[in-house]
Amino acid sequence: MRTVLITGAKDFIGKNLAEELRRREGLAVREFDFGDAPEKLNAGLRQADVIFHLASIYRPLHPGEYETGNVGLTRALVDELERQGRHPLIIFESSIQAELDNPYGQSKLKAERILKDYAERHGAAVRIFRLAHVFGKWCRPNYNSVVATFCHNSTHNLALAIADATAQLHLMYIGDVVKAGLAILEETAPAAGCRFLPVEPVYTATVGQLAELMKVFRDIRTRLILPDLSDRLMRCLYATYLSYYDPGDLGYALDQKADQRGRLAELLKSESFGQIFVSRSRPGIVRGHHYHRTKIEKFIVIEGQACIRLQHIDTGQTVAYDIAGGDFKVVDIPPGYAHSIQNTGTTELIVLFWAGELFDAAAPDTYPYQVGTSAP
């Protein structure tokens, strides 16, 4: 059993790392945070095979806290290890601001130097990541992350304060930060010495671009149009955005179109994959009786009993599929096939539809055709 000590375990990165580590067999996780008694740190150091040193002061009440927190805790950690005569692997998450002349950056640089000196004097293994703007679930808004602040404000219908829309951000996703740290943990015997390692990938975006994405994400619930989620940054940002809704706001109603046949609601739309919608039809009701020249569709019965009929509009050839909700059977609707779907059961019929393109009222590519009639 290996023991891992996390300093700053209740902070954003620490919580995400701890969640991952607790799911792994053969690991015992110990935690320390600012405000805990020094003996808790000392006890953790006595047991630790690996230390993730994440605890950091970002926005102190007084600038001197950078020194007492970021530098002081690192010094206390190293001094206690030396007193105990122990040399576990240390993984330190620093900041790209260590290259800048500001109090926070300089405190991180001093902490790096303390760890580098410790590694050189004792032949210990120290690994340092200089992190950029890390974003993801559980990051505290209105603190040190514009992504967290924008996501929180947008999901709570608050204004986004933008000082400079052209300011460029260097972004790292929390999943990639955790993955990079765990890769070191999995090494059989990390080499002695202090090494700086990268977190990849690093994304770039301006504050203005980020603000525009907040509008796109917010409007998904009404316009139903998803952005291009094949773009990983987009996918990670949208996942992060959703995590900032209050639990009571995670559910939302769809716009429904109702008539004597039943109800229909669109679920999602995308320029890349088309759209998904669902219908509820009363017993005996028939929907469809049309064909498409180019548009393609897929039907799947979720609940009830249906007969899906297709007719080739050129040859007149017909086929019928009797499908129950428990069949999980999909019917493809090619172009040039008139089609209809009838509720042949005694209960409401629920069908999920996929169309390969977004519906355009000005050019719907939908032409009436009574399935069962002779081909023209």
Alpha-carbon distance of 197 to 123, in angstroms, equals 18
Sorted by where each begins, the domain ranges of the chain are: 2-133+169-202, 256-368
The CA distance from 154 to 94, in Å, is: 29
- Asked if the bond preceding 364 is cis, omega within 30° of 0, the reply is no
**Mean pLDDT along residues 196-214:** 98
* Torsion angle in degrees (nearest 10) through CA of 292, 367, 327, 255: 100
Report the distance separating Cα 29 and Cα 4, nearest Å.
5
Token readout for 23 is: 């799911």
CA distances from 331 to 225, 291, 320, 370 (A): 25, 15, 10, 19
Q: How far is Cα 264 from Cα 156, in angstroms, rounded to an integer?
A: 29
Average pLDDT on 278-296 reads 97
Considering the chain, what is the average pLDDT of its residues?
Answer: 96
Amino acid (1-letter code) at residue 339: H
Instruction: Name the architecture of domain 2-133+169-202.
Output: 3-Layer(aba) Sandwich (3.40)
Tell me the pLDDT band of 189, cut-offs 50, 70 and 90.
confident
pLDDT in tens, 42-97: 999 999 999 999 999 988 878 788 888 999 999 999 999 999 999 999 999 999 99
Q: What is the residue-wise DSSP string for 219-270?
A: HHHHH-B---TTSHHHHHHHHHHHTTS-GGGS--PPPEEEETTEEEEEEEEE
Q: List active site positions.
A: 104
Region 256-368: CATH code: 2.60.120.10
User: Residue 98: pLDDT above 70?
Assistant: yes
Could you tell me the end-to-end alpha-carbon distance of the chain, in angstroms, rounded to an integer?
A: 76
- What whole-number distance in Å separates Cα of residue 217 and Cα of residue 209? 12
Q: Tell me the per-residue pLDDT of 116-170, one tens digit each, with 9 for 90 and over.
A: 999 999 999 999 999 999 999 999 999 989 999 999 999 999 999 999 999 999 9
pLDDT beyond 80 at 374: no
Do 98 and 109 contact (CB within 8 A), yes or no? yes
pLDDT-derived band at 259, boundaries 50, 70, 90: very high
Q: 3: pLDDT confidence band, cut at 50, 70 and 90? A: very high
Mean pLDDT, residues 246-265 taken together: 96
Average pLDDT over residues 314-342: 97
For Cα atoms 174, 61, 69, give the angle at the middle one, nearest 5 degrees. 60
For the chain, state the CA radius of gyration. Answer: 29
